[in-house]
């Protein structure tokens, strides 16, 4: 057996591991793990429409220090690998903005996913933009095979704090909120991690689409907020990120959570 074959068939976690975050490209990293070995994907990619705002705004200025955006065409390979590594009858959630949503949704369908709908995350504060400034982002809800959501009592209106059609009402993270050790590491890095999503946002998705001890993957793990949510719900977690600094901070965060 060649090393390449061995690598492409290895499991994402050993039986004793609760989590793992490794440095690496999203697609190449997924190519290295066994098919049908992941129970759920929840991810927030560095989509290319962020580049439009790099000239202005704090979030996108800080983003330069942490990650490079990926072109929309990259998601064609992402969805192929996501579909391959996910187990039959599973879900995939991809966070993005309105512009990216229209570009990448067909790519997910081409890979074999069924697209159900975009869920809206209401950040409860105005963000970037000039015409009707953005207060929300989207979570694209894809399905491989057929898996029922864990709570059939939740309709397409997700209620967090307030009722709203298809909206998750969760305050966005401002400056990061976690234990002292992890905050110190963030401060020592020079700049806080940009575009961080609140743990509560991922918790809703993970609770709906996985069971205890199942493996949640975020191949664009960034600050590891998805991993934090997964461990807090007694799931296991696998993450990848190109940024060595993000990997270091993510590992420190999950060590503290665990």
Give me the mean pLDDT over the 90-111 stretch: 95
**How far is residue 154's CA from residue 162's CA, in Å, rounded to a whole number?**
14
Is 4 domain-assigned? no
Which CATH number goes with the domain that contains 85?
3.40.50.150
Is 173 domain-assigned? yes
Q: pLDDT tens-digit profile of 39-56?
A: 999 999 986 555 555 555
Is 247 domain-assigned? yes
pLDDT > 90 fraction of the chain, expressed in percent and rounded = 51
Is 91 domain-assigned? yes
Is 11 domain-assigned? no
Q: Give the chain's domain count.
A: 1
pTM of the complete model:
0.82
Tell me: pLDDT of 189 over 90: no
Angle at the Cα of 156 from the Cα atoms of 205 and 40, rounded to 5 degrees: 25
Tell me the range of 69-73, 134-138, 194-198 where mean pLDDT is highest: 69-73
Residues contacting residue 65 through CB under 8 Å, at least 6 positions apart: 190, 191
**Mean pLDDT, all residues of the chain:** 80
Tell me: pLDDT of 187 over 60: no
Is 109 domain-assigned? yes
Is 84 domain-assigned? yes
Q: Which domain holds residue 190?
A: 17-257
Q: pLDDT tens-digit profile of 216-239?
A: 999 999 889 999 999 999 999 999
Is 88 domain-assigned? yes
Give me the mean pLDDT over the 81-85 stretch: 98
């Amino acid at each position: 057996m060649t090393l390449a074959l061995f690598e492409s068939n290895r499991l994402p976690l050993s039986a004793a591991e609760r989590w793992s975050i490794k440095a690496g490209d999203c697609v190449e990293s997924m190519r290295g793990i066994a098919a049908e070995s992941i129970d759920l994907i929840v991810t927030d990619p560095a989509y290319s429409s962020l580049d439009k705002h790099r000239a202005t705004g704090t979030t996108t200025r800080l983003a330069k220090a942490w990650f490079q955006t990926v072109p929309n065409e990259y998601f064609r390979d992402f969805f192929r690998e996501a579909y391959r590594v996910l187990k039959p009858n599973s879900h995939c959630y991809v966070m993005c903005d309105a512009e990216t949503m229209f570009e990448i949704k067909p790519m997910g369908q081409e890979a074999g996913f069924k697209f159900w709908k975009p869920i809206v995350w209401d950040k409860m504060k105005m963000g970037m933009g000039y015409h009707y400034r953005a207060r929300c982002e989207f979570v694209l809800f894809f399905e491989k095979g057929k898996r029922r959501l864990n709570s059939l009592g939740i309709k397409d209106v997700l209620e967090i704090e307030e009722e709203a059609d298809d909206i998750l009402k969760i305050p966005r993270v401002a400056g990061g909120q976690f234990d002292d050790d992890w905050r110190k590491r963030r401060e020592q890095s020079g700049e806080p991690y940009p575009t961080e999503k609140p743990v509560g946002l991922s918790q809703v998705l993970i609770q709906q689409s996985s069971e205890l001890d199942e493996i949640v993957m975020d191949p664009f793990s960034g600050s590891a907020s998805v991993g934090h949510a997964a461990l807090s719900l007694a799931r296991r977690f696998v993450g990848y990120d190109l940024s060595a600094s993000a990997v270091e901070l993510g590992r420190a965060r999950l060590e503290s959570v665990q």
